[in-house]
Amino acid sequence: MNSRRDFLQKLGLSALALQLAPLSNWAAETKTIEPAYDGPMLRVAILGLGGYGGMVAEAMRSCTKAKLVGLISGTPSKIKTWQAKYGIPEKNCYNYQNFDNIKNNPDIDAVYVITPNGLHRDFVLRVAAAGKHAICEKPMAVNAKEGQEMVDACKKANVKLLVGYRMHFEPKTLEVIRMRQSGEFGKIRFFQGQCGFTIGDPTQWRLNKQLAGGGSMMDIGIYAINGSRYMTGEEPIWVTAQETKTDPVKFKEGVDETIQFQFGFPSGAVASCLSTYNMNNLDRFFLDGDKGFAEMQPSTGYGPIRGRTHLGELNQPVTTHQTVQMDEMAEIIFNNKKPVVPVDGEEAVKDLKLIDAIYQAVKTGKKVEVSI
């Protein structure tokens, strides 16, 4: 159990701190009787030491079941900096050419691939060949064919393939899912997912078709796609989509700027979603049923998630998403724990099939039937 002091620091409310002072004393008194975690520690190497890799590394400082023990990068200076910061031994550091040698390193259990999308497949195949569990950022690949190859390779190597779906462990998100499963919203009729921001540097990898696999859909759009599935509890059976491009210089051929897309579900429910690199303030989910609703805004951001339902505000605790994710993944790898919403490669392939269908609908202008 984390200390009450840490809890109060996160809240930053002095008045509430005073109210909770007696509880702080109680927590301090009872802390000694709580058993410390003594199970296996998931020892992770991060492959790709960029901005998000750094966020994961920082979050892992607070993990109780996972630990950063290795580094893989194409930039030697980054490795040196991270070694000093996180105390990583030289024997656990690799570059992109020699990291296949991790097969001989018993101190690394898993490799977390955090690189541009276009590199995910090849790196995960190498991780599997080395006999290590693979964790991969989302979207897992640039299309469903590549994603399935990754799933098959990990199965053949008898290692797990997990994907960084951090929202699948977020408390407010899980509460909405629980309410939907228990029928508190009634029959689900409609979902709306709005995901977007105004992208900056036109030379970055996210606007490079080869590295990104597309544009906004291959970055921020994955949240609305995946969210439509876990919020409704259904799998789409048809897709329609429309693309808008206002800047063909910045958003070159094959790099989408804005896509609106719609899903139809077996129950008759529909989803209306937006993925964009040209609008800010878009991070919202809305779920509507015939007995109630849920609205989340922000719905998928790195900071605190906020939401409300027809019953009032959601007040589940604020967590560091990546810390919870990595601890939960340790449980999945070591104890075969089944999360409420899957985070395995098969789950990711379903999203990739929908991305393929969205791009097909944009290209043809027709409704695309899907079966995932």
Note whether 162 and 176 are same-domain residues: no
- Of 96, 131, 166, which one is at a domain's C-terminal end? 166
Amino acid at 28: A
CA 128 – CA 152 distance, rounded (Å): 10
Q: What one-character DSSP code corresponds to residue 202?
A: T
- Of 121, 149, 166, which one is at a domain's C-terminal end? 166
Could you tell me if residue 103 is inside a domain? Answer: yes
Give the count of domains, the chain: 2
Note whether 71 and 118 are same-domain residues: yes
pLDDT digits (tens, 9 = 90+) for 86-96: 999 999 999 99
CA 112 – CA 160 distance, rounded (Å): 12
Note whether 271 and 297 are same-domain residues: yes
Note whether 230 and 310 are same-domain residues: yes
Could you tell me if residue 8 is inside a domain? Answer: no
Note whether 217 and 365 are same-domain residues: yes
Could you tell me if residue 231 is inside a domain? Answer: yes
* CATH value at residue 116: 3.40.50.720
Burial degree of 106 (CB within 10 A; 0-12, 13-18, 19+) = exposed
**pLDDT mean over 252-259:** 98
Note whether 283 and 150 are same-domain residues: no
Q: What is the DSSP string of 141-157?
A: SSSHHHHHHHHHHHHHT
CA neighbor of 251 nearest in space, from 228, 235, 275: 275
Could you tell me if residue 156 is inside a domain? Answer: yes
**Of 299 and 28, more confident:** 299
**How far is C-alpha 40 from the chain's CA centre?**
24
- Percent of residues, the chain, with pLDDT higher than 70: 91
pLDDT for res 35: 76
In 77-136, the DSSP E strands lie at 93-94, 110-113, 133-136
Note whether 131 and 201 are same-domain residues: no
Residue 28 has pLDDT above 90, yes or no: no
User: Both tokens of residue 216?
Assistant: 């906004």
Assess contact for 20 and 4: CB atoms under 8 A: yes
Q: In what order do the strands lie in the sheet with 93-94?
A: 93-94, 66-72, 42-47, 110-113, 133-136, 161-163
At 11, the pLDDT band (50, 70, 90 cuts) reads very low
pLDDT for res 33: 52
Residue 24 has pLDDT above 50, yes or no: no
Residue 21 has pLDDT above 70, yes or no: no
- Of 150, 166, 182, which one is at a domain's C-terminal end? 166
Note whether 297 and 177 are same-domain residues: yes
Measured from the Cβ of residue 174, the count of other Cβ atoms closer than 10 Å reads 17
Note whether 152 and 176 are same-domain residues: no
pLDDT digits (tens, 9 = 90+) for 125-178: 999 999 999 999 999 999 999 999 999 999 999 999 999 999 999 999 999 999
Note whether 264 and 279 are same-domain residues: yes
* CATH value at residue 179: 3.30.360.10
**pLDDT mean over 102-115:** 98
Q: What one-character DSSP code corresponds to residue 340?
A: S
Mean of all residue pLDDT scores within the chain: 93
Residue 22 has pLDDT above 70, yes or no: no
At 36, the pLDDT band (50, 70, 90 cuts) reads confident
Range of the domain at 57: 42-166
Residue 2 has pLDDT above 80, yes or no: no
Note whether 60 and 70 are same-domain residues: yes
Note whether 225 and 160 are same-domain residues: no
Give the catalytic positions in this structure: 138, 223
**Of 163 and 26, more confident:** 163
